[in-house]
Structure 1
Amino acid sequence: MKTINDLFILEGMKEAVVLAGHRGLTRNVQSVNISDTPDVINFLAANHLLLSTGYAFKDDTEKFCELIKQMHAMNCSGLVIKINRFFHQLPSEVKLLADDLAFPIIDLPTNHTLGEVSRHILNYLNDHEAEQLYYALHVQREFSNMLIKGYSLSALIEQLGYLLARPSLLLNHRGEKIAQSHDFAKGSMQEIKQEILQKVKEDLPVAREGTTFSIPSREHQTISTFPVQTKRQYPSMLVIFDSLTLPYPSSQMAIEQAGNVISFTIIKEQAIEENSRLLKNNFFADLIEMKIHSDEEIFSRSNYYGLQKGMENVCVVCTIDAQGEIYETLQLYEKKVGELHNSVYDQLEDEIINENLEATLFTKGKYFAMILQFPKYTDEEINTITKFIENVQANFHGDFTLSFGVSHSVPSLKEIPTAYYEAVEAILTGYEQNLKGFIKYYKTRDLEELLKSLPRKDLKALYETTLKSLAYPKTKEDLELIKTIQVYLDAQCEFSETARKLFVHRNTVKYRIAKTEEVLNCSLRDPVDSLRIRVALIIGSILKEEDETFSQRQVQD
């Protein structure tokens, strides 16, 4: 049975004011009667609530007091009266009597009719579903007011636990606690909370969708999860203890209404978090672009974002493979691209936490950049990074793949820009090889790789300028001179070693070297000339290889 207290969630009653008899608000209400007749007492019974304008006793305080005594004796619920209609205020004698008898007298605002309020109360008393709806709306209004006033998630969960009379938890999408009602602070409930967290993490996808389960220590009671949607790809979760036996009129609808407000609060906090993320990314951009010139500022701002001095720093860059028609189509929808990037960011953040890595995550343009820190960088740390990346790739679900570039380690925070560009170059190298879903460790390019990246016309000009007539040997003597130069330089300009490798006399080598130096107008023992000749010889092999490849393609065509 409902009490007068329960009625204040109804339209009209929620604006009513208790004038006297506050202690009697727990009186039960079974029915409603509207009357302004002097003999109304003849039509009332126990647990009846009287709605009146007070006209019958507007000029007779004694009669008013007598009615209250009679209603109290019959165990009536109370009196709802429009006090401003015929009274300026409740007579003091009536108020003292009502307070003494704990008989509630409630002032109804004049903008609501007695019939309207009576209908709301009767519907509420007679219709369980309507009652649950009213209660859900009451919960929604209460939580909305808390949201507007800036209450924390902890306060919202505490209030939910109070309204439902059930221990309540709020978990993030990883199944980690965000907030809890005070019930879980008790010693015995601490262990139960750990059991709940373990059970949720055992099957996160199901828990996120909403489920009911039991735990070993409370097999006779159930625990239910309810999804709370946020800006993340996966929802947070409300966990209600023993929700299947909620005290009436609490209902799933009330939990959903509370969940909606909690969802808005989380989204608000995520917006604040995104602003902090923007500031963090701005710092990273300044660091990479070397706009921070003071060592002290670099160390101070790096430390603020979790990067410590005296550690080995490795940059891991991740990007979404932009191959295929699906991604190109997605580019047309900026919102979808944003959601995809947020999803990848969240997953990288989750894996960093799961692997317990000392790492800070940034974004720069289309790249996700992680600075991983280690006391020392060995093969063991390389294996750790590889395992971490493989886990991210394996756990990423969708129509796209992720590729990673990994830098060398650098010992100083000031050298992080070098590590970042190494990781990006590793990514680009993978794409040059038409790979996707790959892991590329940065490899320092050798001289031949660097030369191959230059335009052919520039290589050819340098080659011909350096080797002159020997660039394109036509005679047997020219061929012997070119071969002798190569062996001589490889033998560190030692005549005896060169002669041994060419199977000729030492003096023959001397003659050929002298002849070459005369043709090229240089000294092969001079470091600068020697380097120029070495580079030219490498270019010659590159040009020859390209010509042969071109010829083979023509034959195949």
Structure 2
Amino acid sequence: MKLKTVNDLFILEGMEEATVLAGHRGLTRPVQFVNISDAPDIIEFSDENHLLLTTAYAFKDDPQKLCDLIRQMNALNCSGLVIKMKRFLLELPEEVRLLANELSFPIIDLPMEYTLGEVSYHILNFLNNHKAEQLYYALHVHNEFSDMLIKGFSLPSIVEQLGYFLKRPVLLLNHRGEKLAYGHDFRKASMKQAEEEIISKIRENLAAAREGTSFNIPSDLEKTVKTFPIQTQRQHPAILIIINAQSLPYPSSQLAIEQACNVISFTLIKEQAIEENARLYKNNFFADLIEGRINSENEILSRCDYYGLKGDLKTICIVCNIDPADDDYTSLHNHEKMVSELHNSIYDLLEDEMIHMDLIGTLFTKEKYFVLLLQFEEYTDNEMQLIKTFLEKAQSHIEADCTLSFGISNQVHSPKSIPVAYHEAVEAINSGYDLKMNGFIRFYKVREIKELLSMIPMNNLRELYESTLKTLAYPKSKEDEELLKTIQVFLDSQCEISETSRKLYIHRNTVKYRIEKTEAITELSFQDPSDSLRVRVALLIGSLLDVPRK
């Protein structure tokens, strides 16, 4: 087995805090044994590759004698001197320092809090016990990585350092098999193909990779890839990949890898906590948008763009809910507990499926709902089928004893109309629950709402209709008819004035005037989603009541 060097000892307790005072080039000198002595004739008991631990009491008043000792030890090819400087010498004499540097003979200052006996014990254990050396090295790796974690080193820096420690190519993937960080080896052009093959193999069987597996790289069968799970707050672990991990260079060991995995795990959890905080800001923006607390159109477009929503694409809103439990207290309590525990895993599931199917969109949460805003250049039957396939996959991949239901809105043409789409999606999912359904995918359709309204007694419908539209409920003039027609087209156009103007062949200002007059008559605001929905329902009720028109 290769001899240890003075430099190898700095992973040991006591030696970690020691300082090299002189002879730095001699740290590669081999070490086979350690002596402790303060006697002036210690050279009589020294030999090749011996390391001397001393307080230097015999030389405290005679630097020349210490120089003589160093020359004699160097002639014997001794390893070096470890001196407890603060005990008697206080500082290293200049002539001793110059001589040690000239001879490349290491002189090391040992901290006062460690005894010579303690340090000698650790060194001898390290030199003579193969397993102990691996343990010391693993602890050294853990301490180094923990220090990097405390100092805020990035994940790529930590993974790269692991590659240097293990002298092996290292790659870190997230739970989806996407690259998060890599060691220096993967910067080489020669490793590009290997990297692509590794990631491809991992994605072929993500479940096995997350648990820990081994395989050979197809283009280089001599290289074995081993995966290690990195636990985080997500449902599935991240994946650490090490090439040829079965033949780590001594004294690296599986224990050292485990220590590094722990620190990488903590780093990922820290980054996920930062991500959770960013998610909170994102959800607050969505709540402000839905509840009408953002009035500036420019601000809406700017903040939507920040969260990946484009103003020139059509938007579909999908709300997802974990199907509710029975009404008894125990079931409700257990359901609430389950929802809390599953929140992150379902969020990840929806995000994973959305990324897997290359869908453009953003995921939010609002109250009990997971809310997906998907965007398309065109929204046809093909896109509707794509959405249905996406949601069916999410339903089938949930790893829990529950079911998911989805409500899907009609398309809207601008981020400003997202509140309308959200309320349509909520209405769609609630209509499914009203029909006692579970595990369903339900698109918002006017026909379905009419069906539900027809189940309500006519006198109740008429009361809601009249109280909402007031004098417009039974139009008596051509102007009333025009106001009703305008608000119907305005609502059908997702409250977009330009689109309403185009469909009615009237000026934008005329549309604005009619909307303002309707708001004055009904004492409702089309900017308020609940008021807007109330008017929509009232107009539907009017078609059910067959209200006569002039």
1:301 corresponds to: 303
CA distance, structure 2, for counterparts of residue 532 and residue 290 of structure 1:
26
Counterpart-to-counterpart distance in 2, 1:239 and 1:9: 25
Q: For 1:330, which of 327, 334, 339 is the aligned residue?
A: 334
What residue number does 2:364 align with?
Answer: 362
- Residues 461, 541 of structure 2: 8 Å contact kept: no
Which residues of 2 match residues 272-283 of structure 1 at below 5 A? 272-283=274-285
In the alignment, is residue 128 of structure 1 matched against residue 130 of structure 2? yes
Match of 1:478 in 2: none
Partner of 2:242: 240
Name the counterpart of 1:395. 397
Match status 1:310 vs 2:312: yes
Match of 1:22 among 24, 32, 49: 24
**1:454 equivalenced with 2:453 (yes/no):** no
**Which region of structure 1 is more displaced relative to structure 2, 41-50 or 168-177?**
41-50
> Matches of 2:165 and 2:151 in 1, distance apart?
19
SS, match of residue 127 in structure 2: helix
Offset of residue 124 of structure 1: 1.2
Secondary structure in 1 matching 2:446? coil
Secondary structure of the residue aligned to 2:409 is: strand
**Counterpart residue identity of residue 123, structure 2:** I
Q: Is it true that 1:139 corresponds to 2:146 in the alignment? A: no
Query: Which residue of 27, 30, 38 corresponds with 2:40?
Result: 38
Q: What residue identity is the alignment partner of 2:439?
A: G
Change (3 A) 1:271 1:140: same
SS at match of 2:406: strand
The reply to whether residue 108 of structure 1 matches residue 97 of structure 2 is no
Q: Could you tell me which residue of structure 1 aligns to residue 166 of structure 2?
A: 164
Deviation readout 1:110-155 (Å, 9 max, x if unpaired): 2211111111111111122221121111111111111121111111
> Per-residue CA shift, 1:225-270, capped at 9, x if unaligned?
1111111111111111211111111111111111211111111111
Tell me the secondary structure at the aligned position of residue 220 of structure 1. Answer: strand
**1:211/1:536 CA distance change after superposition, 3 Å:** closer
Given residue 332 of structure 2, which amino acid in structure 1 is its aligned partner? Answer: E
Q: Which of 329, 339, 342 is the aligned partner of 1:340?
A: 342
Amino acid at match of 2:431: T
The AA in structure 2 aligned to 1:328 is L
Larger Rg: 1
**Residue from 164, 172, 175 that aligns with 1:173:** 175
* Letter in structure 1 aligned against 2:218: P
* Cα distance change on mapping 1:327 and 1:258 into 2, 3 Å: farther
Say if 2:218 is the partner of 1:221. no
What number of residue pairs does the alignment pair up? 468
- SS of 2:223's equivalent in the other structure is coil
Q: Output the CA distance in 2 between the equivalents of 1:413 and 1:202.
A: 38
Identity %: 60
Choose from 414, 421, 427 the match for 1:412: 414
Match of 1:249 among 248, 251, 254: 251
Distance change in 2, residues 1:19/1:536 (3 Å): closer
Q: How does 1:407-486 map to 2 (within 5 A)?
A: 407-445=409-447, 449=451, 451-455=453-457, 458=460
Residues 404, 461 of structure 1: alpha-carbon distance in 2 compared, 3 angstrom cutoff:
closer
1:331 Cα deviation (Å)? 4.2
Q: Which amino acid aligns with 2:57?
A: Y
Q: Deviations over 1:173-205 (max 9, x none)?
A: 001100111211111111111111111111111
CA distance, structure 2, for counterparts of residue 8 and residue 369 of structure 1? 54
Which of the numbers 188, 191, 205 marks the counterpart of 2:190?
188
Take 1:218 and 1:281, find their aligned partners in 2: how far apart are those partners?
A: 47
Shift of 1:350: 0.6
Q: Distance in 1 between matches of 2:78 and 2:185?
A: 37
1:231 aligned to 2:233?
yes
Give the whole-Å Cα distance in 1 for the aligned partners of 2:59 and 2:201: 65
Q: Which residue of 2 aligns with 1:321?
A: 323
Q: Which shows bigger deviation, 392-401 or 87-96?
A: 87-96
- Could you tell me which of 24, 48, 51 is aligned with 1:49? 51
What one-letter code is carried by the residue in structure 2 that aligns with 1:394? S
Letter in 2 for 1:251: S
1:532/1:281 Cα in 2 relative to 1: closer, same or farther (>3 Å)? closer
* Paired residue type of 1:306: G
Distance in 2 between residues matched to 1:110 and 1:282, nearest whole Å: 55
RMSD: 2.3
Q: Which amino acid aligns with 1:280?
A: K
What is aligned with 1:91? 93
More moved, 183-192 vs 287-296: 287-296
Could you tell me which amino acid in structure 1 is paired with residue 334 of structure 2? L
Displacement after TM superposition at 1:327 (Å): 6.2
Deviation at residue 367 of structure 1 after TM alignment? 0.7
1:351 pairs with 350, 353, 356, which one?
353
Q: Secondary structure in 1 aligned to 2:47?
A: coil
- What is the 5 A alignment of 1:527-538? none
Partner of 2:491: none
Query: Residues of 1 paired with 2:323 and 2:103: CA distance?
Result: 77
For the 8 Å contact 2:290–2:419, the answer to whether it is kept is yes
- The amino acid of 2:319's aligned partner reads V
- Shift of the alpha carbon at 1:36? 1.8
SS at match of 2:86: helix
Segment drifting more, 32-41 vs 319-328? 319-328
2:462–2:541 contact (8 Å) kept in structure 1: no
Gaps in structure 2 of 5+ consecutive residues = 465-539
Distance in 1 separating the partners of 2:544 and 2:107: 103
Question: Where does residue 529 of structure 2 map in the other structure?
Answer: none
Distance 1:534 1:381, change over 3 A: closer
Name the structure 2 match of 1:378.
380
Compared CA separation, residues 536 and 17, structure 1 to 2 (3 A)? closer
Structure 1 residues 440 and 251: CA distance shift in structure 2, 3 A: same
Sort the Cα spacing of 1:219 and 1:446 in 2 relative to 1 into closer, same or farther, 3 A.
closer
Change (3 A) 1:53 1:182: same
Give, in whole Å, the separation in 1 of the partners of 2:112 and 2:297.
72
Q: 1:440 to 1:57 in 2, by over 3 A?
A: same
Once residues 92 and 288 of structure 1 are traced to their aligned partners in structure 2, the CA distance between those partners, rounded to angstroms, is 75
8 Å CA contact 2:322, 2:339 repeated in 1: no
Is 2:320–2:371's contact at 8 Å kept on the other side of the alignment? yes
Counterpart residue type for residue 319 of structure 1:
N
Give 1:537 shift. Answer: 8.8
In structure 2, the residue corresponding to 1:323 is in which secondary structure? coil
**2:249 aligns to what SS in structure 1?**
coil
TM-aligned CA distance change 1:239 to 1:535, over 3 Å: closer
Cα shift at 1:55: 2.1
Letter in 1 for 2:421: A
